[in-house]
Structure 1
Amino acid sequence: MRLTVFGAAEQVTGSMHLLELDHYKILIDCGLDYERDTRLEDNEYFPFDPAEIDVVILTHAHIDHSGNLPTLVRMGFEGQILCTPPTADLAELLLLDSASIFAGKERKPVKRHKNAYKPKLLYLQKHVMDTVERFVTIGFNKPFRLNGQAELTFYSVGHLLGAAAAVIKVSGHGPDRTIAFTGDIGRENYPTLTDPSLLPPVDYLVCESTYGGRKHNKTQNVEQVLVGTINESCVKNPGRLIIPAFSIGRTQALIYSLNKIFDQGLLPPVKVFVDSPLANYATEVYRKYQSLLSQDSQKFYREKGDEFEFENLTYVHNLKESKEISNYFEPCIIISSAGMLEGGRIQDHLYYNIQNYYCTILFIGYCAKGTLGNRLLRGDPIVRLRNRDLSVYATIKQTDTLSGHADHDDLMQFVSSQQAGNLKRIFLVHGEMNSLKSFSDALQAEGFNTTIAEKGVSYEL
């Protein structure tokens, strides 16, 4: 059995791991690599022949885990893509959205003949639909036979609806061996998601390390942060609160939290706009799989009704309705994508409000270096929007209470459910180098054998 980490090695994005058994190749995740030094076109060049991959296992729908699947299919992969039912539905939405983004971007043209150029796209909608046809869904905790020697079981890990750790049991040629791929691990008591499940004993573990060495601020919960911010920006001061939020996962958790706040009468009614077509579709998927949401969410549904619908909440459906928000002069909350402010309708709302003293912008997620969100968070006094330099007069705030990632303590708790003496090796992936090293050091102090996986290096198991 051989493991090769081809993506998310010593970095966060581009998750892609190859597990080779006897004459059988399993690819775990196939995400887009969008690190700063990577061109989008670089995702087209796989370090293996896609046609030789027998099966793909998809841990969850986020683009850094699923986003290069259509390229894999376009380049010759003909096997099944195994995932949970919610992951299949959410991945379809995200991949179609990616194809639309690619089509709308200006790409470096490829010369065809003297006076004609054709833009080169990573993949088209057709390739997305070809990919979706290959999805085969498997429920949590239901063993699935891959071939004569391998069996797959998904375990819920929170983080996103449908997100799973993939545990693969390999038989033959001596004692059975078990390897687990965590995907991304969620955190306990998340508004809409179940707590991460503990894994059965495994021999090898490929573990994400996003928040290694970092801890979430746990002095306040989601509702407390939102009540304080809304009270300051919309009640005491009659202004508007803009919340950039990822359309899938973060927006649904935010809507549900606001629903509980207004239901309990913790704040007077405030108009809430959800301005993201992708979020609207994703919310329908969350409704479809309501039975897989958190116990708190399910209880609210039984006692109060739809978690994602309440008085004064408006889902914006088209661009005309989106533009009309600018003419709404009462205090309001605007939830829009994208979370890092790189494209999407959120840029329109920023353009009209960044110089508004009575506007607050609340970031509820991570903003990568180089993004507009990161520039605002670091305190840039002037930002560029629509080819204009605009002074920043709006108040900028941030909270990590809605982060979907396990922090350092959560990661340690998750791994420590394994016996150090029985777990032969932990391969650390999906993290910046400082996070990987911090997590590795902490695990080694507890007696675990760790390896920070290197890109393209094969490990015999």
Structure 2
Amino acid sequence: MKLTIWGAAQQVTGSMHLLQTNNYTLLIDCGLDYEKDTFQEENEYFPFDPAEIDVVILTHAHIDHSGNLPTLIRAGFKGQILCTPPTADLTEILLLDSVNIFLSKQHKTKRGKGRKQHLGPRPLYLEKHVMDTVDRFVTIGFHKTFVLTDQISLTFIPVGHLLGAAAPVLEIKEAGQTKKIAFTGDVGRKNYPVLKDPETLPQVDYLISESTYGGKFHSTQGTLQDKLIEIIHESCIKFPGRLIIPAFSIGRTQALVYALNKIFSQALLPPVKVFVDSPLAAQATKIYRKHHDLLNEDSRAFYKASGDEFSFKELSYVEEKKESISISNYHEPCIIISSAGMLEGGRIQDHLYHNIQNYYCTILFIGYCAKGTLGNRLLRGDPIVRLRNRDLMVYASIKQTDLLSGHGDHLDLLKMVKSQDTALLKKVFLVHGEEKSLNSLAEALTEEGYQVEIPFKGQSFEL
């Protein structure tokens, strides 16, 4: 049996791992790699023949894990895509959103007799390819053993992080031996709004683990509710201004809306208007409602006592563009939640353009912002940023909290691995992390007695 790491090797995005047995080939995740300038080339061609893959196993819906599935199908993959029911639903809307992003990067100019020339990269795929992908989904519930062949079975274990996110555990019989292999996907954290805590994995022989927050520790000072109350009071009540929160539409926004619902429903603050300005967030929220039975106990108890977690009197979901524009004319204190989380495109840029020079505006970052993004430039304190081809002074207050990060930190990752017996776990492969994070987690695990490998892209291992 051979494992080859083809993505998220010594970097965060583009998760893709090939597992080959004597007569069956599995691909675990097929994400977009968007960390390089050669985005198109990195994602359009595969280092293996997609037609030879028998099945794809998808850990969760985020684009760095699911975003290149339509390209895989275009390139000849004929098999099924196995995932949990929420993952199938969320992946569909995320892939359709990716198509819109691809198309937005194609500028159209008139040329000759009314003909239009497309500039910019050609889309990796279109809506029809996404629909072809959706047709391949076969959904499996958590803890339900699914038999792929008489030699291979699969079980999904919940890991938090995002609705439907799972660690696939494979049991494979080969050459008279039975081996268990687990892929963590992305690991969540305890007590996260809406989501259940990550579960302990069963004992396995090999573990492929993410390491995004290796060496990093989440804040332990205060609760999310206390932090939000403090910032809202300062931004919207003590001083009648605006609080703008860039948030990813799927996962982060639902957690934030629920946290705000609890604050306002308990009258912990005077009423403040809240706008969720993201059509994608509205679609994702419907999926969270659909799979309500998979939300955590706190969320379900709130529903029984008070009703819909994702709806309250002060809250409005904004879907039409004209409604989004009209928010600029709302002159009362308000909270605006919009995407994208790193400020690289989306409606959030419209709100920034109108408010970045507003002394009575606060911009609160609740997630990671990669180097080179507009969000990162604001967080590092750049006094001037460029929006809509204009250089604008930054007068708004910039704040950040990691209390809504959906990733488990160093201690959470250690706990996930340390549930495995060092005498029985033959090796841990660390992926999905920057160099410093990978090395920090590898050092900590080695000290605990585990055999650790940090693969490079394309490196193969006989298991």
1:78-93 equivalence runs, <5 A: 78-93=78-93
Matched, 1:50 2:44: no
Q: What amino acid sits opposite 2:297 in the alignment?
A: Q
Counterpart for residue 112 of structure 1:
none
Q: What amino acid sits opposite 1:242 in the alignment?
A: I
Counterpart for residue 161 of structure 2:
159
Contact 2:181 2:207 in 1 (8 A): yes
1:342-381 equivalence runs, <5 A: 342-381=344-383
Contact 1:33 1:40 in 2 (8 A): no
Change (3 A) 1:107 1:13: farther
Q: Normalising by structure 1, what TM-score?
A: 0.97
Shift in Å at residue 448 of structure 1? 0.5
Deviations 1:17-54 (A, max 9, x none): 00001121100000000013442332011000111110
Query: 2:131 is matched with which residue: 111, 114, 129?
Result: 129
Shift in Å at residue 117 of structure 1? 5.8
CA distance in 1, matches of 2:340, 2:243: 16
Counterpart for residue 329 of structure 2:
327
Deviations 1:283-303 (A, max 9, x none): 000000011011110110011
CA distance in 1, matches of 2:40, 2:260: 37
Give the secondary structure class of the aligned counterpart of 2:243.
strand
CA distance in 1, matches of 2:38, 2:207: 27
Give the secondary structure class of the aligned counterpart of 2:244.
strand
Give the secondary structure class of the aligned counterpart of 1:212.
coil
1:183-332 equivalence runs, <5 A: 183-332=185-334
Give the secondary structure class of the aligned counterpart of 2:395.
coil
Q: Normalising by structure 2, what TM-score?
A: 0.97
Counterpart for residue 59 of structure 1:
59
Give the secondary structure class of the aligned counterpart of 1:228.
helix
Change (3 A) 1:66 1:240: same
Contact 2:21 2:174 in 1 (8 A): no
Q: What amino acid sits opposite 2:367 in the alignment?
A: G
| RMSD of aligned alpha carbons | 1.3
Q: What amino acid sits opposite 1:145 in the alignment?
A: V
Q: What amino acid sits opposite 2:27 in the alignment?
A: L
1:433-448 equivalence runs, <5 A: 433-448=435-450
How many residues align structurally?
A: 456
CA distance in 1, matches of 2:191, 2:157: 17
Counterpart for residue 112 of structure 2:
none
CA distance in 1, matches of 2:14, 2:145: 27
CA distance in 2, matches of 1:215, 1:37: 30
Q: What amino acid sits opposite 2:132 in the alignment?
A: D
Give the secondary structure class of the aligned counterpart of 2:97.
helix
Deviations 1:227-250 (A, max 9, x none): 000000001000000000000000
CA distance in 2, matches of 1:271, 1:176: 57
Q: What amino acid sits opposite 1:215 in the alignment?
A: F
Change (3 A) 1:348 1:116: closer
CA distance in 2, matches of 1:308, 1:385: 32
Contact 2:107 2:118 in 1 (8 A): no
Shift in Å at residue 221 of structure 1? 1.6
Counterpart for residue 385 of structure 1:
387
Structure 2: which 5+ runs fail to align? 110-114
CA distance in 2, matches of 1:423, 1:244: 41
Q: What amino acid sits opposite 1:333 in the alignment?
A: I
* Identity %, equivalent residues: 69
CA distance in 2, matches of 1:149, 1:427: 23
Contact 1:155 1:164 in 2 (8 A): yes
CA distance in 2, matches of 1:107, 1:209: 37
Counterpart for residue 69 of structure 2:
69
CA distance in 1, matches of 2:69, 2:412: 30
Q: What amino acid sits opposite 1:85 in the alignment?
A: P
Structure 1: which 5+ runs fail to align? 110-114
Shift in Å at residue 118 of structure 1? 5.7
